[in-house]
Amino acid sequence: MTLTEEIAQLHSELASITFTSPEEVEQYRIRYLSKKGQIPALFERFKEVTLEERKSIGKLINELKQLAEQLWKDAQEQFQAAETTSTSGLFDYSAPGWAMARGSRHPLSVVANEINAIFSRLGFTVAEGPEIEDDWHIFSALNFPEEHPARDMQDTFFVGQHPDMALRTHTSSVQIRMMESKTPPLRMIMPGRVYRNEAISARAHCFFHQVEGLDVDENVSFADLKQTLLTFSREMFGEDTKIRLRPSYFPFTEPSAEMDISCTVCKGAGCNICKYTGWVEILGCGMVHPNVMTNCGIDPEKYTGFAFGMGIERIAILKYQVKDLRLFSQNDMRFLKQFSTEW
């Protein structure tokens, strides 16, 4: 048989080969590709070839070699894949299963959901708005004077060089959007992320989360505000929780107050959480300023309303006694795992 004939014969032999087991793949390798196999043998016979034929026959042998190697590679892959997926006869039904890692909610979501649930039982709906806002919704409509320090570069992140657009510093902007677009009665809460240009530390962050609330209707009074907040505090922190309102100032409410609850840790006896006062501040509140109503097209002679706003991180810190605000945004599994039973 000439070398050309032999190459042709091997070619058709290879074309018809199929494999049914890894052993056959190995036999194939030994027979055709190993040192003493048929394909290296062809290279040995290459010496017999005349000079004119060298180029064409050399090409044929190389093609054959490539084909043989490709077949071997494909066959190996075929059985490797089968090995990892096959359970034939070797499956140990008594082996313990893979423990599936169960995800959990972020503690801030747990707390936000709880706040939402309490207020929805009191008849509040949830409203949301954009995090990038214009000056009108963050400040002007809320009765902030032109020179108010909160508008300052030190507190507010402006967007690019735009003097009018900023990351909202509170979710009161959503209150404006709601009052502008709806007619009273309005009873809603606005949860969301807010941004302030503060140095990051255990007690401050450049972003955090708030839930604000708004109730506008005829004859809404300060007593309604107080009762709503008392009910909320008892549901959130326990039946024996007391509240205390201290006079305060916000441009968008009049009168304004800050609300403390009796310390959840020492129950008023004094500890380092409440700095030995027995009280901890949790929110700001007040009666919606008539200017704000007018800015939103609501008649302050006809309607009154209350508003309040609290930091979700602050509530979570009190509820779970978290020592460092930064833990909420570091995604450290050791921290997050502790909340896996909360929902």
Q: 305: which DSSP letter?
A: E
- Most distant CA pair in the chain: distance in Å? 113
Name which of residues 282 to 301 contact ligand PHE (CB under 6 A).
284-286
* Strand runs labelled E in the chain: 125-126, 132-134, 165-167, 186-195, 207-217, 243-250, 253-262, 279-288, 304-311
Q: Please state the φ and ψ torsions of residue 102, each to the nearest 5 degrees.
A: -95, 130
Site membership for ligand PHE, residue 212 (CB under 6 A): yes
Q: How many residues bind ligand PHE (CB under 6 A)?
A: 11
Cβ(114)–Cβ(233) under 8 Å?
A: no
Name which of residues 266 to 285 contact ligand PHE (CB under 6 A).
284-285
Site membership for ligand PHE, residue 228 (CB under 6 A): no
Beta bridge partners of 262: 279
Min CB(96)–ligand PHE separation in Å: 51
- Binding mask 238-267 toward ligand PHE (x if CB under 6 A, else -) reads ------------x--x--------------
Name which of residues 305 to 334 contact ligand PHE (CB under 6 A).
307-309
Helix (H) or strand (E) run with residue 12 in it: helix 3-15
Site membership for ligand PHE, residue 170 (CB under 6 A): yes
Min CB(296)–ligand PHE separation in Å: 14
User: Which lies closer to ligand PHE via its Cβ, residue 169 or residue 241?
Assistant: 169
Site membership for ligand PHE, residue 192 (CB under 6 A): no
Site membership for ligand PHE, residue 144 (CB under 6 A): no
**CA contacts within 13 A on the Cβ side of 37:** 16
Q: Please state the φ and ψ torsions of residue 222, each to the nearest 5 degrees.
A: -60, -30
| Footprint on this chain of ligand PHE (rule: CB under 6 A) | 170, 172, 212, 250, 253, 284-286, 307-309
